[in-house]
């Protein structure tokens, strides 16, 4: 049971949960701002806001752009979300225009899968698992027909999970979430439901429950996203933890739920518009703000964040960084060298934080 009414404030820093930090500067062939990274063992996929889907190697070298933007055959209007089939080296891009485009990892267009006949505009999440495609729906304007559906790679409907929440007056688009976690398990949640579902093809079960209370989002209109209510934006599932980015009591927060203790800890909070991160006492660098989760073939787990170079350079030049004494002083020197090698207008730097076993 995850009980927002029993959150405990506790300072948990990176050195307590990680034994390695890897920085990967992305090369500058195509400049991009805000990014959404997804990693395999050999490639980094980046979905910037407008530039399409970009591919880099694990050293940050640019390799290719997958497909191109447009309204013609084999083109996507907006690469809303994407997923990949590593075994067959193919990638699926979910277009906001009710279709899925299939490409090879080298960018060759292979197939267009129409999903207009499913009756909903699925664009919040997609994942490939066990030769099937899972499409997730959040609650938009107080309504969601499905929690998720499962289709084959030709677009045929296989399974569907209807949303049991009745329509209610709202002008907010609540964002559901998916993740293929450490044991190849799929999860689904939305901000109104009290259940975090674990999915196995047509079967599903409750993995975690949110407790009831005045902190739960009401099934009615409310004034703004920054509210007194508990509003999770992202949840990352790992072997030992659930990492939460959420808004609660008019503050943006990051929390860590420790499974063995069945307790959610608030580790950082701010009233700023940006989310806070997990304090970096490992090398004295910027805090980790998780943007994705990655597990390699050795079953090592990583949280992934991204850093804007001008923020890193400003941080390294600050008096607080110069006076800091991190757990690994030699890593502090390496980070300083990295910052000094960057131009403030360079592409973001990926921050891979390896979680302790």
Residue 329 belongs to a domain: no
Quick one: average pLDDT of 275-290? Answer: 95
Residue 120 lies in a domain: yes
Answer whether residue 160 is part of any domain: yes
Confidence (pTM) = 0.91
Lowest mean pLDDT: which of 143-152, 213-222, 262-271, 284-293? 213-222
Please check whether residue 105 lies inside any domain of the structure. Answer: yes
With 90 as the cut, is the pLDDT of residue 173 above it? no
Q: Is residue 171 part of a domain?
A: yes
Q: Are 201 and 130 in contact (CB under 8 A)?
A: yes
Given a cut of 60, whether residue 282 has pLDDT beyond it is: yes
* Residue 44 resides in a domain: yes
Could you read off the pLDDT of 229-280 as tens digits, one per residue? 898 888 999 999 999 999 898 899 999 999 999 999 999 999 877 889 999 9
- How many domains, the chain? 1
Length of the chain measured in residues: 357
Ranges 43-57, 255-269, 270-284, 302-316: which has the least confidence: 43-57
- Residue 225: the pLDDT is 54
**Which residue from 219, 306, 224 is spatially nearest to 32, judged by alpha carbons?**
306
CATH classification of the domain holding 266: 2.120.10.30
Q: What confidence category does residue 50 fall into, taking pLDDT thresholds of 50, 70 and 90? A: low
DSSP 265-308: EEEEEESSSSPP-B---SSS-PPB---EEEE-TT--EEEEEEE-
Domain annotation covers residue 129: yes
On the 0-12 / 13-18 / 19+ scale of CB atoms within 10 A, 153 is middle
For residue 144, what are the domain limits?
Answer: 4-12+33-273
In a domain, 130, yes or no: yes
Q: What is the mean pLDDT of residues 65-83?
A: 82
């Amino acid at each position: 049971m995850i009980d927002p009414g029993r959150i405990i404030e506790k300072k948990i820093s990176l050195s307590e949960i990680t034994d390695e930090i890897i920085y990967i500067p992305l090369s500058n062939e195509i400049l991009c701002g805000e990014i959404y990274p997804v990693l395999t063992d050999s490639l980094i996929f980046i979905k910037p806001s407008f530039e399409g889907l970009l591919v880099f190697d694990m050293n940050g070298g640019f390799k290719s752009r997958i497909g191109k933007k447009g309204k013609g055959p084999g083109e996507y209007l907006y690469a809303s979300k994407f997923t990949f089939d590593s075994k067959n080296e193919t990638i699926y891009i979910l277009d906001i225009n009710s279709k899925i485009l299939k490409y090879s990892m080298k960018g060759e267009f292979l197939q267009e899968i129409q999903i207009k006949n499913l009756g909903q505009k699925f664009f919040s999440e997609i994942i490939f698992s066990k030769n099937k495609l899972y499409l997730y729906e959040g609650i938009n304007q107080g309504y969601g027909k499905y929690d998720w559906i499962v289709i084959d790679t030709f677009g045929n409907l296989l399974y569907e999970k209807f949303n049991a929440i009745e329509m209610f007056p709202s002008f907010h688009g609540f964002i559901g979430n998916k993740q293929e976690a450490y044991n190849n398990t799929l999860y689904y949640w939305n901000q109104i439901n009290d259940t975090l579902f674990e999915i196995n093809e047509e079967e599903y079960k409750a993995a975690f429950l949110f407790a009831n209370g005045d902190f739960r989002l009401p099934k009615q209109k409310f004034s703004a996203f920054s509210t007194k209510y508990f509003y999770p934006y992202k949840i990352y599932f790992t072997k030992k933890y659930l990492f939460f980015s959420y808004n609660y009591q008019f503050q943006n927060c990051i929390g860590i739920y420790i499974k063995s203790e069945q307790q959610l800890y608030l580790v950082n909070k701010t009233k700023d518009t940006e989310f806070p991160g997990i304090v970096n006492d490992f090398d004295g660098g910027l805090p980790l703000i998780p943007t994705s989760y990655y597990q390699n073939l050795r079953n090592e787990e990583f949280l992934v964040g991204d850093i804007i170079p001008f923020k890193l350079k400003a941080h390294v030049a600050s008096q607080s960084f110069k006076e800091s004494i991190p757990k690994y002083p030699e890593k502090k020197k390496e980070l300083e060298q990295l910052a000094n090698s960057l131009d403030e207008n360079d592409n973001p730097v990926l921050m891979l934080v390896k979680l302790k076993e």
